[in-house]
Amino acid sequence: MNAPVPLILTGDRPTGPLHLGHYIGSLKNRVAYQHEYRQFIMLADSQALTDNMDNPAKIHNNLLEVAFDYLAVGIDPAKTTIFVQSQVPELAELAFYYLNLVTVARLERNPTVKEEIRLRNFERDIPAGFLTYPVSQAADITAFKATLVPVGEDQIPMIEQTNEIVRRFNRTYNCETLVEARALVPEVGRLPGLDGRAKMSKSLGNALNLGASEQEISKAVKKIYTDPQHLRIEDPGHLEGNVAFIWLDAFDDDRAALEEMKAHYVRGGLADSKVKARLEACLQELLAPIRARREEFARDPAEVMRILQRGTEAAREVAARTMAEVKAVLGLNYF
């Protein structure tokens, strides 16, 4: 008998259109994964409300924007199930049961949660939904019995906590109902923002969206952070922290020519404008077809919504089977 095809669960919060950081960190890989694995992609609108509860329209308005981006980069709904988190109520029910298997102290020790709390300046004024996000994520993963979850290194503690819940559930109820998942960390890490900050982010205003126009790409590249010490063309340049070269490493396929350019820059005699011109050419070539496909999908939002509805119905069937197994183990199948 053949081994079961590994199942992947991944997704994004629909708080705005997706950008180059999403593409290099996850989307590019998801396009490849769909040919090898059974893949579910979740639009995490419920989770996005944990820190946007005062502005639900932001989530609603961006749901289709993110769907357009998925389809534009090559996610095929015939091969990948794209679904909306809030429309699969089994996920919230699972999270409710899992909350009894984890302590507040353990949630507060989660390094990912601690960092997000720090970034948002919550201190002790933490929305309960935000604090319990690892439990919600555990429900999302285990509902589909995902064995692989593509995440950045900063999200590994979330997968570890999911597996703790899985083990405790199976041990407590003497069953093998839930399965553990493995973090699938991409080789390329987070892409720094235009301004040289640690990561590209919509909220920091340092991102370049996948649907950017030719003019927006050109404008963004012109202001990209390079080497502040490279004041004259003849000065030796530095590659470390130079966002233009970091982006070229991510998007330039001509490795030999790029290495030659790096060497020229380091020894001096190469203007930043030349580096930026090469980067802009790479980005224009990459984003032009994505932008064209995105515009095509955006012309028929009703069809894209039907794609999401079909995917959500399929996802709910899978989650409902897991929910039935969990309720049977808990003795909640009265009728």
42: left (phi over 0), alpha (psi -120 to 50) or beta: beta
Q: Percent of the chain at pLDDT above 70?
A: 98
Domain ranges of the chain: 7-191+301-330, 214-295
Tokens of 81: 């199930």
pLDDT digits (tens, 9 = 90+) for 182-199: 998 877 667 899 998 778
**In angstroms, rounded to a whole number, what is the distance separating the alpha carbons of residues 209 and 194?**
12
Contact 226, 266 (CB under 8 A): no
Give the pLDDT confidence score for residue 120 in this predicted structure: 75
Across the range 325-329, mean pLDDT stands at: 97
5 pLDDT band, cuts 50/70/90, is low
pLDDT greater than 90 at residue 178: yes
**In angstroms, rounded to a whole number, what is the distance separating the alpha carbons of residues 232 and 237?**
9
pLDDT greater than 90 at residue 317: yes
Across the range 54-71, mean pLDDT stands at: 95
Q: Average pLDDT of the chain?
A: 92
Q: CA-CA-CA-CA torsion for 213, 219, 221, 224, nearest 10 degrees? A: -130
Tell me the three state secondary structure of residue 39: strand
Q: Does domain 7-191+301-330 have CATH number 3.40.50.620?
A: yes
Give the pLDDT confidence score for residue 188 in this predicted structure: 65
Tell me the three state secondary structure of residue 91: helix
Closest CA to 183 of 158, 209, 206: 158
Type of residue found at 39: Q
Q: Name the pTM for this structure.
A: 0.90
3 pLDDT band, cuts 50/70/90, is very low
Rank 127-141, 177-191, 261-275 by mean pLDDT and report only the highest. Answer: 261-275
Which CATH code, of 1.10.10.10, 1.10.730.10, 1.10.3720.10, 1.10.240.10, is assigned to 214-295?
Answer: 1.10.240.10
163 pLDDT band, cuts 50/70/90, is very high
Q: How many CB atoms lie within 10 A of CB 289?
A: 12
Q: How far is CA 130 from CA 13, 49, 90, 116, 134, in A?
A: 13, 9, 19, 9, 9
Across the range 32-48, mean pLDDT stands at: 94
For 209, phi and psi rounded to 5 degrees?
A: -70, 155
Tell me the three state secondary structure of residue 185: coil
Q: Of 42-56, 121-135, 273-287, which range is least confident?
A: 121-135
Across the range 295-314, mean pLDDT stands at: 98
pLDDT digits (tens, 9 = 90+) for 100-134: 999 988 988 888 778 877 777 777 777 788 889 89
Q: Write the burial class of residue 46 (CB in 10 Å: 0-12 exposed, 13-18 middle, 19+ buried).
A: buried
C-alpha dihedral sign at 118, 121, 124, 129: negative
Give the pLDDT confidence score for residue 2 in this predicted structure: 38
